[in-house]
Amino acid sequence: MNEMMNKRESIIAEANRLRWELGENFHDTLMQNIYEHATEIEKKAVKYPDAKEVFSFDRTLDKILTSKFLGFPIMFLMLGVVFWLTIQGANYPSGLLSNLLVDTIHPALKTFALNFDLPWWLSGVLIDGAYLAMAWVVSVMLPPMAIFFPLYTLLEDFGYLPRVAFNLDPLYKKVGAHGRQALTMAMGFGCNAAGVIATRVIDSPRERLIAIITNNFSLCNGRWPTQILIATVFIGSAVPAYLAGIVSAAAVVFIALLGIAFSLIVSWFLSRTLLKGEASAFSLELPPYRPPRIFQTLYTSLIDRTIFVLWRAVVFAIPAGMLIWLVANVSIDGISIANHFIQYVNPIAFVFGLNGVIFLAYIIAIPANEIVIPTILMLTVANLGIQGVGAGSGVMFELESASDVATILQSGGWTLLTAINLMLFSLLHNPCSTTIFTIYKETKSWKWTLVSTFLPIAMGLTVTFFVTQIWRLLTN
């Protein structure tokens, strides 16, 4: 036995000695040999059909898509078309779903609850809270995602998107990121959670983390309506009527561009500080162009992206809906929790040019940015005790006319400054809970999840704080 052990020890010692003699390069040599063998075998065994023509078509297309004059115009055109199709195409089905889930089924459920004598609090929590939040999320989230994701996947499948990354890479290289971050950012305009999942295409660990943390700065589908509504109501009405449309649209575009600028600045900052030491390896494959497989694309993007994201959103919306209803309806000393909170936080929020309602709405409407405005409206009405608007305490609602929204918000003390700050804060705040959960799933790290959650909040508070102080200095 002892002899065996000695023998083993001496073999290990000999092996160690030989490893030193082998030098550092043996891994490389090994790899080279493997490739040489593989090439030999390939030469004997594989015959290629005459594929020259396809290849030259690829080259011509590549030359056009990455050319100095046509490269960027084609890119902006393509993205413009995708966004236009998404926004225009989603309007109708969204209205339809909202009609069905919010305007038809919700009252039906209420009647049903009345008939069965359900206690008011139970029907409140379940129907006005959980069901309504879920219905809202589904009706506003599903149609744009069901259009945007397949379009994006088609472009990806065809092989165009890697060329976009190729063209934009110099910009991203400057800020220490990967060209493919352009694609994940574009995906983020549809949905940040999907954008975070899309970062899987970035195979370098450091650049992938950068893309995950900064994805939230892409103004997602759930925040566009907020921006458009607030810009129309407050910024559009602050300028002469004939300019209203242009100015409010410009304000929204400005916010979106500001988001892109922030994502580049934060990428630059992260790659030089927090993420300086993380491993990095760049390579960008340009796959051959392929005719897109339409049905397969539709199927996979619906299952992999749309349903997946929607399911996570619904899972988070249900408890949040209950919470929203509860804070508006549970009272301590005759005042609801929501009103306690709003009164308590108002002075702090004032420093940031916002108000307690907005803070509370951003906390309890964390599952989806889509329900922030309905929550704000509900809380404002409940807080001021306005009668005849909305469907009761704790029930989220939306209004058809923008001027009604303006009336409610103005009676809640909103000014042009509040509106601007809300638009900024809507861009710069924590990602929705679905995205936060997805970030955790993708990074498997609490540290990076917390950074991506709190960094945007800190930035949002800083920006709104300084905007507010400077605004007040100038207007006083």
Partner 1 sequence: MNEAMLLLFIGILFLLFIAILFYPEKGLLEIFKKSRYANQKVLLEDALKFLYDCEYNNIPCTLNSIAGNLNISADTAAEIVSKLQNMGLLNANRDFLLLTSEGKSYALRIIRVHRLYEKFLADETSMNEKEWHKAAEEVEHKLSDEEVNKLAAQIGNPVFDPHGDPIPTSKGEIPEKAGKHLNEMEPGEMATIIHIEDEPHTIYSQIVAEGLYAGMQVRMIESNEKRVKFEANGEECILSPLIAKSITVGPIKLEKPVEGKLKTLSSLKVGEKGIVLGIAKSLRGQQRRRLMDLGIVPGTEIEAELESISGDPVAYRVRGTTVALRKNQSEKIYLVKEEEKN
For partner 1, the binding residue among 7, 37, 200, 276 (CB under 8 A) is: 276
| Residues in Cβ contact with 378 at an 8 Å cutoff, skipping those fewer than 6 apart | 324, 328, 390, 394, 395, 396, 397
Write the DSSP string, 391-440.
Answer: SSTT-----S-HHHHHHHHHHTT--HHHHHHHHHHHHSSPPPHHHHHHHH
Q: Give the residue ranges of DSSP H helices in 46-99.
A: 52-65, 71-98
Site stretch for partner 1 (CB under 8 A), options 97-105, 406-414, 428-436, 460-468: 460-468
Determine the Cα–Cα distance for residues 140 and 138; give it in Å rounded to an integer.
Answer: 6
Site stretch for partner 1 (CB under 8 A), options 24-32, 291-299, 407-415, 421-429: 24-32
Q: Token pair of 147, please?
A: 């259009």
Q: Residue 331: beta bridge partners?
A: 336
Residue 200 C-beta: closest distance to partner 1, Å = 16
Residue 384 C-beta: closest distance to partner 1, Å = 26
For partner 1, the binding residue among 7, 10, 11, 36 (CB under 8 A) is: 36
Residue 33 C-beta: closest distance to partner 1, Å = 9
Residue 68 C-beta: closest distance to partner 1, Å = 6
37 near partner 1, judged by CB under 8 A: no
Residue 270 C-beta: closest distance to partner 1, Å = 12
Residue 4 C-beta: closest distance to partner 1, Å = 19
Q: How many CB atoms lie within 10 A of CB 350?
A: 14
Residue 78 C-beta: closest distance to partner 1, Å = 16
Q: Token pair of 164, please?
A: 């976009």
Determine the Cα–Cα distance for residues 160 and 367; give it in Å rounded to an integer.
Answer: 33
Footprint (CB under 8 A) of partner 1, residues 4-23: 13, 16-17, 19-20, 22-23
Amino acid residing at 410: Q
273 near partner 1, judged by CB under 8 A: yes
Site string for partner 1, 160-179 (x = CB under 8 A): ------xx-xx--x-----x
57 near partner 1, judged by CB under 8 A: no
Residue 239 C-beta: closest distance to partner 1, Å = 25
> 58 vs 304, which CB is nearer to partner 1?
58
> 1 vs 46, which CB is nearer to partner 1?
46
> 3 vs 24, which CB is nearer to partner 1?
24
For partner 1, the binding residue among 7, 8, 37, 63 (CB under 8 A) is: 63
Determine the Cα–Cα distance for residues 87 and 249; give it in Å rounded to an integer.
Answer: 14
50 near partner 1, judged by CB under 8 A: no
200 near partner 1, judged by CB under 8 A: no
Determine the Cα–Cα distance for residues 263 and 48; give it in Å rounded to an integer.
Answer: 45
| Residues in Cβ contact with 310 at an 8 Å cutoff, skipping those fewer than 6 apart | 137, 138, 141, 142, 145
Site stretch for partner 1 (CB under 8 A), options 150-158, 201-209, 297-305, 314-322: 201-209
351 near partner 1, judged by CB under 8 A: yes
Site stretch for partner 1 (CB under 8 A), options 68-76, 222-230, 231-239, 428-436: 68-76
Task: Say how many residues touch partner 1, by CB under 8 A.
Answer: 57
Q: Residue 332: beta bridge partners?
A: 335
348 near partner 1, judged by CB under 8 A: no
Write the DSSP string, 326-363.
Answer: HHHH-EETTEEHHHHHHHHHHHHHHHTT--HHHHHHHH
For residues 181 and 215, is the Cβ–Cβ distance under 8 A? no
Determine the Cα–Cα distance for residues 379 and 373; give it in Å rounded to an integer.
Answer: 10
Residue 9 C-beta: closest distance to partner 1, Å = 9
Phi, psi angle pair for 118, to nearest 5°: -65, 140
> 221 vs 452, which CB is nearer to partner 1?
452
> 115 vs 283, which CB is nearer to partner 1?
283
For residues 409 and 351, is the Cβ–Cβ distance under 8 A? no
| Residues in Cβ contact with 154 at an 8 Å cutoff, skipping those fewer than 6 apart | 292, 294, 297
Interface residues with partner 1 (CB under 8 A)?
A: 13, 16-17, 19-20, 22-25, 28-29, 31-32, 35-36, 59, 62-63, 66-68, 71-72, 166-167, 169-170, 173, 179, 203-206, 273, 276-288, 351, 462, 465-466, 468-470, 472-473, 476
